[in-house]
Amino acid sequence: MSAPGAGRAVVRQRWRDLLFVHWPVPADRLRPLVPAELDLDCRDGSTWITLIPFLILDSRPAPLPAAVSVAFLETNLRTYVRGPDGEPGIYFFSLEAASRSAVVAARLCYGLPYFHAVMSRRVDGPRIAYTSRRRSARPATLEITWTVGEPREPARSGSLDHFLIERYCLYVRRRGRVRRGRVRHAPYPLRAATVERLDESLLAAARLPSPVPAPPLCHHSPGVDVEIGALEAVSPRAPAA
């Protein structure tokens, strides 16, 4: 498992059939939407956003047995940042979940921008069709169909794939300061993915710019088993002597 510094697990989950859909976005369009304490993490002069629909096969508080776990669909919209101490991680613009209890728990315990949504998923061989409709005064929808392709090599350290996929902490601004939650799991196994249909309003709901016209960069992962730690305060990096 990666991120050995994650500490005691608070939540255990099994993530399955993740689709990563990545777009480059101008940094000046992202900067006003991300807390000032976080630096935008750039790659080759670009900042990125990623949309991730997936299945949480089971989710439970770490001390409790698997018998009490719940399963639900989730969709995340995120960007890439560095914390006040320079550690790379992710910042969420929104998270949709089909479980109302999961939404309430995540908002209370982590302060994450979760929204309850009506969601569906249909698997037909290598093709996965996925829909989401937010139950909120600020509606947002997603309809996406993709085909899973051949296995790919794990993301190589230093590559763009690794930059976009292998992230092991999240940042949130809570109670007046930036906090970090560490996530521990094995490196993602990857497969090729081809998006056949994509219709969404999640980006607009988050005040993000429309994606560039070029096709997005996509990856599929069969999934990983995950442990999530508690939020911790983040101290700025000490200045060099």
| Tens-place pLDDT, residues 6-62 | 568 999 999 999 999 999 999 999 999 999 999 999 998 899 999 999 999 999 999
Question: Is residue 139 pLDDT above 90, yes or no?
Answer: no
Coil vs helix vs strand at 44: coil
Q: Tokens representing 89?
A: 């991680």
pLDDT of residue 169: 96
Coil vs helix vs strand at 110: helix
Q: Are 51 and 75 within 8 A, CB to CB?
A: yes
pLDDT of residue 3: 45
Q: Are 241 and 213 within 8 A, CB to CB?
A: no
Q: Tokens representing 49?
A: 């956003």
Q: Give dist(CA 74, CA 56) in Å, integer.
A: 7
Mean pLDDT of the 184-188 span? 96
pLDDT of residue 240: 54
| Tens-place pLDDT, residues 188-199 | 999 999 999 999
Q: Are 200 and 51 within 8 A, CB to CB?
A: yes
What are the structural domains, with CATH classification, of the chain?
A: 4-232 (2.40.400.10)
Residue 238's pLDDT band, with cuts at 50, 70 and 90, is low
Residue 66's pLDDT band, with cuts at 50, 70 and 90, is confident
Mean pLDDT (the chain) is 92
Residue 1's pLDDT band, with cuts at 50, 70 and 90, is very low
pLDDT of residue 136: 79
pLDDT of residue 213: 72
pLDDT of residue 158: 94
Q: Are 168 and 182 within 8 A, CB to CB?
A: yes
